[in-house]
Structure 1
Amino acid sequence: MYLHTQLLINEIAADEPDPAAANALQEGLGGQFGEMRTMMQYLFQSMNFRGDAASKPYKDLLQGIGTEEISHVELIGTTISQLLDGSPRYQGKKSDPVDQPGAGGATPLKIALDTSNIHHYLVGAQGALPVDAAGNPWSGSYVYNSGNLVLDLLYNLMLESTGRLQKCRIYEMTENKTARSTIAYLIVRDQAHENAYAKALESLGVNWGKVLPIPKTNAEQFPEVKKLLDKGLQSIQYTFSADNLSEAGKLYRGASPSNDGTELSTDVMPEGFPITISPERKEEFAPGLDPELLALIQATAEQEMKEADSPKEAKPAATKKK
C-alpha cells in the first residue's frame, strides 16, 4: 500500500511565469528519460521481482526509489504548472514581446499561439501534461523490465545517468528560479540513485565502472546544486517504508561510488514542504466550485451532520397476531 503525505519533496522557489521553461521541463517529466519513465520502470521491476529471501534488499531498493519517483513526478508536474500559471498576464522584462499580452483589450490567451507548447493552454489549462518537450505523449514502451537483476540494474544506472545529463542541459536553458530550484534538486537525486544502482551492481560482482562509467557533468558548478551537495543529499536514499521493513540499507551503505568522500546512508523519508492550491483561471474557463454548488454542498453536509447528531426515535415493538 502507498501513503501520500500532502507535502512536496522539495521547495519550489517563487519567480515569474515562464512558459518556455515549462515546456523544456516537460522532457524531464514525460520524456524517454523523464520522471514518469523512472517511476514506472522501477515500480514494475519491483512488482515483477523474483528471487529468494536473500534477494529482498534489491527488491526493497527498487521499491524505495520507485516510490520516490512518484514524488518527483508530483514535484516536476507542480513546477510546470507554477511556471505556466498566470502566464497570460506575464510581467517579464519590458523589452519582452510577451510582456502583458492581455493588456489593452488583446486576446487573453494570445500567448499560446507563439510561446512554447500550445497544448499547455489548449488542453492543460496552464498545467503540466504527460508529454515530452516536443509534445509526444508518454509511452509505456519506454519501460524496461527484463526480469534479469543485473541487466535491470545496469539499465537503471544508464537511465539515471542520462536523466541527470538532460536535466543539466535544461538547467542551462533557463535562469528562472522556479525551474532551477526543481531541476537542481532532481540533478542531485539522480546522482543518489546512480549511487544506489552502482552499489547494488558492485554487490553482485559487476565492475560497472569499466562497463558504464557515470558521466561527469560537473553539475556542482551550479550554485543551487552545490548547496544540496554540501548537505550530502546525493548520498542518502529514502526507503519510504512506513513499517520500517525495508532492507535497502544493506546495499546503500559504505563509500559513495561518486568518489566524493561521502558515506551512503538511508532514511525513511524527507521532511517535505507545504503544497498550495493554484488559483482559478477564468481565461481558461477553469474555475473551482461554482458558488451556488458550493453553498448546496455545505448545506447538505450540515444537514447530514445534524441528522447524525440527533437521537434516533425508538420504533414501537411489533405485536404478534394470534
Structure 2
Amino acid sequence: MYLHVQRLINDIEADEPDPAAANALQEGLGGQFGEMRTMMQYLFQSMNFRGPAGKPYRDLLQGIGTEEISHVELIGTTIVRLLDGSPRYNGKKTDPLDEPGAGGRTPLENALHESNIHHYLVASQGALPVDAAGNPWSGSYVYNSGNLVLDLLYNLMLESTGRLQKCRIYEMTSNKTARSTISYLIVRDQAHENAYARALETLGVSWASVLPIPKTNAEKFPEVRKLLDLGLQSKQYSFDLTAQSEAGRIFQGMSPSKDGTQLDASEQAPAGVPLTIAEERFEEFSPGLDPELLALVQATAELEMAEVQPLYGPIPPPEGTS
C-alpha cells in the first residue's frame, strides 16, 4: 500500500513565472530519463521481483520507486508554479473573460508563441505527462529484464543520465523556482546512483570499470553545494511504516561517490514542506469551486469531513458500537 503525506518532499523557491523553464522541466518529468520513468521502472521491478533471499534488493527498489512518486509530485508542482500567471493577465478576477487584460492584451496571447501551447490549451497552465518536445510519456521506456544485475546496471545508467540532463536544464535557466527543484533532484539522483552502485558492488560487479559515471561538476552550483554539504547525496529513505525494509543492509558503508561520506539508510522519510493548492485561473475558465458552485453545494448538502485518525491500520469503531 501507499500512503500520501500532504507535504512536498522539498521546498520550491518563489520567483516569477517562466514558461520556457517549465517546458524544459517537462523533460525531467515525462522524458525518457525523467521522473515518471524512474518511478514506473523501479516500482515494476520491485513488483516483479523474484527470490525471497533477495528481499533487501527488492526493498531498495521499492523505497527508491516510492521516493520517485514524490519527485513526480515535486517537479509537476514546480512546472505549475512556473506557468501559473505567466500570461500576466492583470485584470480583476471579476472582469469578463472575453475582454482583453490590462494594457489591451488578450489574456492568453503568449500561449501562441511560448514553448508548449498545450500548457495553456490543454492543461490550464499545468504540467503534462510529456517531454520537452511534447511527446507523450511511454510505458515502453520501462526496463524490467527480471535479471537483478542487468536491472541494477540499467538503473545506475538511468540515474546517471537523468542527473546529466538536469545539470543541463540548470544551465538553461536562472529562475529560482526551477533551480530549487532541479538542484534537489540532481542531489537525489546522485543518492540513487550510490544506492545502485553499492548494490552492484555487493553482487561482485565492478561497475566503475564498465560504466563510468559522467562527471558533471554539479557541486559548483550553489544550490547543489548546499545540499551536498548536508549529506543529502548519501541518504536513502525506506518510506516503510512497518519498519520491515531491509534496504539498509545494502545502503551502508563508504559512499561509492568517493566524497568521504557514509551511506545512511536510517530515516523513514524526509520531513517535507507544506503543500499548497494553486489559485484559480479565470482566464483559463478554471475557476475551481467558484461562488456559484459553492452556493449550489451549500444549497444541496453541506460537505462533511470525517476525521481520520493518525495511525496505521483499521480505524476502531466509535465507543458504544460494535
Per-residue CA distance 1:16-58 (angstroms, 9 max, x = gap): 0000000000000000000000000000000000012x20000
1:254 alignment partner, SS class: coil
Q: Corresponding residue for 2:134? A: 135
Q: Which position in structure 1 is the counterpart of 2:175?
A: 176
Contact kept? 1:130, 1:137, Cα under 8 Å: yes
- Alignment-derived partner of residue 205 in structure 2: 206
Taking the aligned partners of 1:280 and 1:156, their CA distance within structure 2 comes to 39
- Deviation string 1:46-90 (CA, Å, 9 cap, x unpaired) is 0000012x2000000000000000000000000000000000108
- Which residue of structure 1 lines up, in the alignment, with residue 195 of structure 2? 196
Q: TM-score scaled to structure 2, two decimals?
A: 0.89
1:282 is the counterpart of 2:282:
yes
The residue that corresponds to 1:147 in the other structure is: 146
Partners in 2 of 1:152 and 1:167 — Cα distance? 22
Q: 2:152 touches 2:199 (CA, 8 Å); kept in 1?
A: yes
CA RMSD in angstroms comes to: 1.6
The amino acid that maps onto 2:211 is L
Provide the residue aligned with 2:7 in structure 1: 7
Counterpart position of 2:318 = none
Q: Does 1:49 align with 2:49?
A: yes
Give the deviation of 1:180 after TM superposition: 0.1
- 1:215, distance to aligned residue in structure 2 (A): 1.1
Q: Counterpart of 2:298?
A: 298
Alignment of 1:14-93 (within 5 A): 14-52=14-52, 54-89=53-88
SS across alignment from 1:87: coil
Aligned with 2:236: secondary structure? Answer: strand
Identity of aligned residues (%): 81
CA-to-aligned-CA distance 1:87-137 (integer Å, 9 cap, x gap): 01089xxxxxxxxx9432211111011111111000010000000000000
Aligned residues: 295
With over 3 angstroms needed to count, the CA separation of the structure-2 counterparts of 1:119 and 1:250, relative to structure 1, is: same
In structure 2, C-alpha distance between the alignment counterparts of 1:225 and 1:292, rounded to whole Å: 46
2:161 match: secondary structure: helix
Residues 276, 150 of structure 1: CA spacing in aligned structure 2 closer, same or farther, 3 A cutoff? same
Evaluate the alpha carbon distance shift between residue 278 and residue 210 of structure 1 in structure 2; reply closer, same or farther with a 3 A threshold.
same
**CA–CA distance in 2 between the matches of 1:59 and 1:133?**
32
- What amino acid sits opposite 2:280 in the alignment? E
Determine helix, strand or coil for the equivalent of 1:245: coil
Partner of 2:271: 271
Shift in Å at residue 254 of structure 1?
A: 0.2
Letter in 2 for 1:2: Y
**2:12 & 2:56 partners in 1: Cα distance?**
32
Which residue identity is paired with 2:14?
A
Tell whether the 8 Å contact from 1:196 to 1:252 is kept in structure 2 after alignment: yes
Contact 2:200 2:206 in 1 (8 A): yes
* C-alpha spacing 1:170/1:242, structure 2 compared with 1 (3 Å): same
Q: Distance in 2 between matches of 1:160 and 1:303?
A: 44
| Kept after mapping to 2: 8 A contact 1:281/1:287 | yes
Contact 1:237 1:252 in 2 (8 A): yes
- Tell me the alpha carbon deviations over residues 149-205 of structure 1, each in whole angstroms, 9 at most, x when there is no partner: 000000000000000000000000000000000000000000000000000000000
Larger Rg: 1
* CA deviation after TM superposition for structure 1 residue 301, in Å: 4.0
Structure 2 gaps, min length 5? 91-99, 306-322
1:229 aligns with 2:220: no
Matched, 1:110 2:70: no
Residue 7 of structure 1 deviates from its aligned partner by: 0.2
Tell me the distance in 1 between the aligned counterparts of 2:302 and 2:76.
36
Q: 1:242 to 1:219 in 2, by over 3 A?
A: same
CA contact (8 A) 1:16 1:90 kept: no
Range with bigger deviation, 220-229 or 113-122? 113-122
For 1:133 and 1:214, the matched residues in 2 are separated by 24
Whether the 8 Å CA contact 2:89–2:102 is kept in 1: the answer is no
Residue of structure 2 equivalent to 1:246 = 245
Determine helix, strand or coil for the equivalent of 1:136. Answer: coil
User: 1:216: Cα distance to partner?
Assistant: 1.0
Give the structure 2 partner of residue 309 of structure 1: none
Unaligned runs of 5+ in 1: 92-100, 306-322
Runs of 4 or more above 3 Å deviation: 298-305
